[in-house]
Amino acid sequence: MAIQTVDPNTNQLLKSFEEMSFHQVDKAISQASSAFTEWRKTSYGQRADLLHKVATLMRDQKQYLSRLITMEMGKLIAQAEGEITLSADILDYYADNGEKFLADKTLAPEFGQAIIRYSPIGVLLGVEPWNFPFYQVARFAAPNIMIGNTILVKHASIVPQCAIAIEDLFTKAGAPKGIYTNLLISGKRASMLVSDKRIKGVSLTGSEAAGASIASAAGKNLKKSVLELGGSDAFIILEDADIDKAVEWAVVGRINNNGECCVAAKRFIAIESVADEFITKFRDKLAALVIGDPMDAATQLGPLSSEEAAVALASQVQKSVDAGAKVLLGGKRPVRAGAFMEPTILTDLHPGIPAYYEELFGPVASFYRVKDDQAAIDLANDSPFGLGGSVFTQDIERGKRIADQIDTGMVFINHPTWTQADLPFGGTKGSGYGRELSELGIDEFVNKKLIRVSDLSDPF
């Protein structure tokens, strides 16, 4: 894939970048590897200082960085500003809490003493997606730099200016060379790097295909991997839900980030007695969205990240209609320049229709009616994915009972799946494995070393 900035609002090519040569990449890995030998000796305080400085620079440059995001992948400008704030919060969170999370854990063996000590493992490779160009990197970089690992980031090819800007922030904050390195290379080359002996672990956020490629390379080379992949979150509306609230959240859950969230609400499942009210209100709100330039504060739905993404989504919708799905709203590309897709609702879906099992990455909602709680749970679980999900009800205990039976990494009651620094994020089934954020996110690429001290009372 060419490494380019193409404005999805106009589909105009703005800037092209040369891929790094094999020699340049080799040098970058060596630099990260020798930086590790020093970085692992630094104190938590020194590492925290670096992360705080990057967070401060990020906040200082919020306007500029937000515009880069919107220009490269089409996110609404206000949401891009929110992403910068969230990313800085994640850096601060690990700077403030990392030492506590990584403190020795004292065990209580029958004889003598034992502790678990957390040590870094070395150079890590992070392969990141375009949909949250700063936030995704922050989730990976902050905990790992705090641990004492050094990192190489292969960012998505359509956000090169964001990728370079993040590396610049680390450089300006005084990071020694090799602590954070951006690799301008293709996805295929990222998979090939996993076999390099200097790289000790790999984390990928992206599609199942890319995840499978990275995971098989990691498995073959006996390296730890973390995968954050796609999702098709169920959004369940029970008959006792506050329907107007559920509708408001349904709109946010589906079209936040122009619909391009792994944890977007994608399958709307309503109990029959409230299904008509919910779907009528939901359709009316989606139909009223103002589509336009994502730099314009009045816009409510911007373009997808690229023309390729919009063509792929429109084709999934068309194939689903050809297989029997009905279109309740939208269904087409609007007649205008740019990578746009109409807000769309599909109904009458069943296995055999592409939209039933596939992830729809854009403003396309699937709608289902079910007779009771069990049918809602069964439908929610009938998915290759297991990332997030929501239950809307005024009976919180009932919501928790349903949450318990949904096979995903996260379930939210009366809210779409969401994220913040101190809550773990990740999935199960085809959505990947491992966790990012919270205390769990700092626990993936560490050596949990047992140190055992014997004393004279130890039996032979």
Contact footprint for ligand NAP (CB under 6 A): 1, 127-131, 154-157, 186-188, 190-191, 205-207, 210, 213-214, 228-231, 262, 359, 361, 387, 427, 431-432
Token pair 């951006």 is found at 182
Q: Which of 391, 325, 311 is nearest to 353 (CA)?
A: 325
**Minimum CB–partner distance for residue 305 and ligand NAP (Å):** 7
Q: Which of 329, 128, 359, 331 is nearest to 260 (CA)?
A: 359
**Minimum CB–partner distance for residue 173 and ligand NAP (Å):** 24
Catalytic amino acids? 228, 262
Q: Is residue 389 a contact partner of residue 236, using CB atoms and an 8 Å limit? A: yes
Rounded to the nearest 10 degrees, how much is the dihedral formed by the CA atoms of 384, 388, 392, 394? 130
Nearer to ligand NAP, 227 or 379 (CB): 227
Nearer to ligand NAP, 118 or 356 (CB): 356
Nearer to ligand NAP, 53 or 154 (CB): 154
Fill in the amino acid letter for 249: W
Nearer to ligand NAP, 123 or 370 (CB): 123
Nearer to ligand NAP, 258 or 393 (CB): 258
Nearer to ligand NAP, 210 or 379 (CB): 210
**Minimum CB–partner distance for residue 38 and ligand NAP (Å):** 28
Quote the radius of gyration of the chain (alpha carbons, Å).
23
**Minimum CB–partner distance for residue 332 and ligand NAP (Å):** 22
113 phi, psi to nearest 5 deg: -130, 160
Strand 180-182 relative to strand 199-205, pairing:
unpaired
**Minimum CB–partner distance for residue 232 and ligand NAP (Å):** 9
What distance in Å separates the CA atoms of residue 228 and residue 261, rounded to the nearest whole number?
A: 12
Residues 6+ apart with CB under 8 A from 106: 113, 114, 115
Neighbours of 12 (CB within 10 A): 11
Nearer to ligand NAP, 29 or 275 (CB): 29
**Minimum CB–partner distance for residue 205 and ligand NAP (Å):** 5
Fill in the amino acid letter for 427: G
**Minimum CB–partner distance for residue 159 and ligand NAP (Å):** 8
CA distances from 64 to 67, 68, 70, 195 (A): 5, 6, 10, 37
Q: What secondary structure does DSSP assign to 64-97, as a single string?
A: HHHHHHHHHH---HHHHHHHHHHHHHHHHHHHHH
Angle, CA 99 vertex, CA 96 and CA 102 arms, to 5°: 135
Rounded to the nearest 10 degrees, how much is the dihedral formed by the CA atoms of 306, 310, 311, 317? 160
